Amino acid sequence: MSAKGGSAFGGRILAIGAHPDDLEFGCGSLLAKEASAGSQIKLLVLSKGEAGTAGTPESRAEESRAAAKLIGAEIEFLEMGGDCHIKNTAENAFVIAKYIREFKPDVILAPHTDENQHPDHAEAGKMARDAARFARYGGLAELKGLATHKITALYYYPVTQDFAAPVDLVVDTTEVYDTWVKMINCHNTQLQNKDYESLVTARAKALGVAIGTKSAQGLWKNDPIRLNNLSDLNLSSRNY
């Protein structure tokens, strides 16, 4: 990680979504904030939302591309059997691990692994976790020829669900709120199904109130957060 001080992270972020709107609805504000801070962002989408009630795979992929363009992120769509067929198999995790070795992210963002939601979200989250592990293993024949890579951290984001567990991390995303709303509205076909904009921005606003800002992104950690000393935590969440 190349920390540049202040609010800028300036690292490399690999963000994984199961469907074409997961990243924008679930962690779009954080992606927008990191993009504005100079982080290099790659989005991997594991389907084109083929099972969706509204939109075609082509139109949905196009909506995602438009959202990615707003923040200057790279985006790729992977073929893993399509919407509702995503499974955390070793073979699929090797594909993600290959991207990890090639892109060398500091941070991976993936959907929360709670079981009571679209099963693709949980599978994608578990696949990201396993892929990050596989990317470290030097003897894997499937990844031969690519140098091993160890990420700094894996965090989980909620797609549209709220989970019982309180979030582990909260990031102030007030400054990029308008960009985030634009990203959400790229997914016009999905907004016809439900008012997802209100759903996810209401959550962000509530979390923002809790930490004393106007909008915030919550995340869950996969591993303990390592600090050199307590001054690494120089921001307070005492409004909780």
In the complex, what is the shortest distance from the CB of residue 152 to Zn ion, in angstroms, rounded to a whole number? 26
In the complex, what is the shortest distance from the CB of residue 7 to Zn ion, in angstroms, rounded to a whole number? 29
Mark the segment that binds Zn ion (CB under 5 A) among 17-25, 56-64, 180-188, 216-224. 17-25
Q: Decide: is 33 part of the binding site for Zn ion (CB under 5 A).
A: no
Residue 34 CA to residue 30 CA, distance in Å, equals 6
Residue 97, Cβ density class (10 Å: 0-12 exposed, 13-18 middle, ≥19 buried): buried
Amino acid type, 218? G
**Three-state secondary-structure class, residue 28:** helix
Residue 44 near residue 93, CB atoms below 8 Å: no
Shorter beta-carbon distance to Zn ion: residue 52 or 208: 52
Q: To which H or E segment does residue 107 belong?
A: strand 107-111
Give the residue, chosen from 13, 14, 15, 22, that forms a contact with Zn ion under the rule CB under 5 A: 22
Shorter beta-carbon distance to Zn ion: residue 22 or 63: 22
Residue 66 near residue 186, CB atoms below 8 Å: yes
In the complex, what is the shortest distance from the CB of residue 68 to Zn ion, in angstroms, rounded to a whole number? 16
Residue 53 CA to residue 34 CA, distance in Å, equals 32
Shorter beta-carbon distance to Zn ion: residue 122 or 204: 122
Q: Decide: is 19 part of the binding site for Zn ion (CB under 5 A).
A: yes
Q: Decide: is 63 part of the binding site for Zn ion (CB under 5 A).
A: no
In the complex, what is the shortest distance from the CB of residue 120 to Zn ion, in angstroms, rounded to a whole number? 6
Q: Decide: is 24 part of the binding site for Zn ion (CB under 5 A).
A: no
Q: Decide: is 48 part of the binding site for Zn ion (CB under 5 A).
A: no
Mark the segment that binds Zn ion (CB under 5 A) among 13-21, 149-157, 191-199, 203-211. 13-21
CA 234 to chain centre: 24
Q: Decide: is 123 part of the binding site for Zn ion (CB under 5 A).
A: no
Shorter beta-carbon distance to Zn ion: residue 12 or 60: 60
In the complex, what is the shortest distance from the CB of residue 19 to Zn ion, in angstroms, rounded to a whole number? 3
- The residue of the chain with the least Cβ separation from Zn ion equals 19
Residue 41: name the closest of 76, 7, 4, 84 by CA: 76
Strand partners, 156: 110, 220
216: its two tokens: 């915030």
Q: Decide: is 60 part of the binding site for Zn ion (CB under 5 A).
A: no
Q: To which H or E segment does residue 89 belong?
A: none
Mark the segment that binds Zn ion (CB under 5 A) among 18-26, 69-77, 138-146, 149-157. 18-26
In the complex, what is the shortest distance from the CB of residue 108 to Zn ion, in angstroms, rounded to a whole number? 17
> Any residues with CB less than 8 A from the CB of 78 and at least 6 apart, and which?
44, 45, 46, 47, 95
* Residues lying near Zn ion in the complex (CB under 5 A): 19, 22
